[in-house]
Amino acid sequence: MLQAIGLTSTHRRNRPPAVDDLTFEARPGEVTALFGPPGAGKTTALRLMLGLERGQGVAYFRGRPLHRIANPPREVGVLLGDVPGHPARSVRGQLRMLCAVAGVPVSRADELIDAVGLDGLDDQRLGALSRGMDRRLGMAAALLGDPHTLVLDEPTAGLSTREANWLHGLLRAHAHHGGTVLYTTSDSRAAARTADHVVAMAAGRLVGDQDAATFARTRLRPRVAVRTPHAARLAAQLRREARAAHRSVEVVSEHGNGLYVYGSDCAQVGETAFRHGILLHRLADETGPAPTPASTLTPPNASTPPRAPAPPNTTALAHVTAPAHVTAPAHPLAAAVPGEGAPDRATTGRGIPAPTRTSAPDRGPAAAPAPTRTTTPPAARATPRHPAPRAGKRRRRRGRERSWAARRAPLRPLRYELRRLTGVPSTPITLGAAVLASVVLAVLMGRLGRTPVPAAVAAWPDLLPLPPAALGAGLVGAFSFGDEYRYPALPASLGATPRRIGLLLAKLAVTAATAVLLAVVVAVVDLEALRLVYGGRLIPVPGNWPTLCASWLALVVGCAWAGLLAAGVFRAAAAGLAAVLAVPVVIAPAVEEALLGPAVRSVAGLPARLRELAWPRWPAEGDRWVDGALRVMAQPVGAALALSLTVLLCAFLFTGVRRTARW
| pLDDT tens for each residue of 193-211 | 889 999 999 888 998 888 8
Examine the pLDDT at 6 and tell me if it is beyond 80: yes
Write down the pLDDT at residue 119: 86
By mean pLDDT, which of 88-97, 246-255, 540-549 is the weakest? 540-549
At residue 137, the pLDDT reads: 92
Q: Are 241 and 234 in contact (CB under 8 A)?
A: no
What pLDDT does 476 receive? 95
pLDDT of residue 632: 53
Q: Could you give the C-alpha distances from 195 to 23, 38, 89, 91, 188, in angstroms and in order?
A: 19, 19, 34, 30, 10
Nearest alpha-carbon partner for 490 in 477, 474, 506, 472: 506
Cα angle 433, 439, 440; round to 5: 90
- Helix, strand and coil percent figures for the chain, each rounded to 5: 50, 15, 35
pLDDT, the chain, mean: 76
Contact 118, 91 (CB under 8 A): yes
pLDDT at residue 337, as a whole number = 31
Q: What percentage of residues in the chain have a pLDDT greater than 70? A: 72
**DSSP-based three-state secondary structure for 512:** helix
pTM (2 d.p.): 0.71
* Tens digits of residue pLDDT in 137-176: 999 999 998 999 999 999 988 888 899 999 999 999 999 9
- 54-63, 253-262, 333-342, 436-445: range with lowest mean pLDDT: 333-342
Q: What is the CATH number of domain 2-204+299-405?
A: 3.40.50.300
- CA-based Rg of the chain, rounded to a whole angstrom? 32
Rounded distance between C-alpha atoms, residue 597 and residue 589, angstroms? 12
Residue type, 59: A
- Is a pLDDT exceeding 80 seen at residue 44? yes
| C-alpha dist (Å) from residue 190 to 183, 313, 398 | 11, 22, 36
> What pLDDT score was predicted for residue 368?
38
* Kind of pairing between the strands at 2-9 and 149-153: unpaired
Higher pLDDT, 400 or 487: 487
Cα 257-260-265 angle, rounded to 5 deg: 125
Q: Is the peptide bond before 616 cis (omega within 30 degrees of 0)?
A: yes
Q: How far apart are CA 221 and CA 206, in angstroms?
A: 22
Highest mean pLDDT among 227-231, 323-327, 356-360: 227-231
Is pLDDT larger for residue 108 or for residue 325? 108
- The Cβ of residue 296 has, within 10 Å, a number of other Cβ atoms equal to 9
Give me the pLDDT at residue 497, please: 63
pLDDT for 251-260, tens place per residue? 888 877 888 8
pLDDT of residue 628: 53
Q: Is the pLDDT of residue 367 over 50?
A: no
Nearest to 321 by CA among 363, 370, 368, 376: 370
How open is the CA angle 587-593-596, to the nearest 5 degrees? 130
pLDDT at 212 over 80: yes
Read out DSSP for 365-404? TTTSPPPP-PPPPGGGGPPPSS--HHHHHHHHHHHHHHHH
Tell me where in the chain the CATH 3.40.50.300 domain(s) lie: 2-204+299-405
- Segment 343-365 shows an average pLDDT of 42
pLDDT, position 103 = 86
What pLDDT does 370 receive?
Answer: 39
What pLDDT sits at residue 245?
A: 86
Instruction: Tell me the one-letter amino acid at 462.
Output: D
Q: What number of other Cβ atoms are within 10 A of residue 447's Cβ?
A: 12
Per-residue confidence (pLDDT) for residue 470, from 0 to 100: 93
Better-predicted residue by pLDDT, 607 or 132: 132
Does the structure show a pLDDT above 70 at 247?
A: yes
Question: Span 465-484, mean pLDDT?
Answer: 92
pLDDT(356) > 50:
no
| Rounded Cα distance, 521 and 435, in Å | 8
Give the CATH class of 218-290: alpha beta
Lowest mean pLDDT among 240-254, 280-294, 403-417: 403-417
* Confidence at residue 12, expressed as pLDDT on a 0 to 100 scale: 75
Answer yes or no: is pLDDT of 440 > 90: yes
Model confidence at 282: pLDDT above 60? yes
Mean pLDDT of 262-283: 88
- When pLDDT is cut at 50, 70 and 90, the band that residue 388 belongs to is very low
- Please classify residue 45 by burial: count the beta carbons closer than 10 Å to its beta carbon, then call 0-12 exposed, 13-18 middle and 19+ buried: buried
Q: Where in the sequence of the chain do the CATH 3.30.70.980 domains occur? A: 218-290
Q: What is the pLDDT of residue 586?
A: 82
What pLDDT score does 613 carry? 56
Q: How confident is the model at residue 389 (pLDDT cuts 50, 70, 90)?
A: very low
Higher local confidence (pLDDT), 501 or 303: 501
Q: Which helix (H) or strand (E) holds 184?
A: strand 180-185
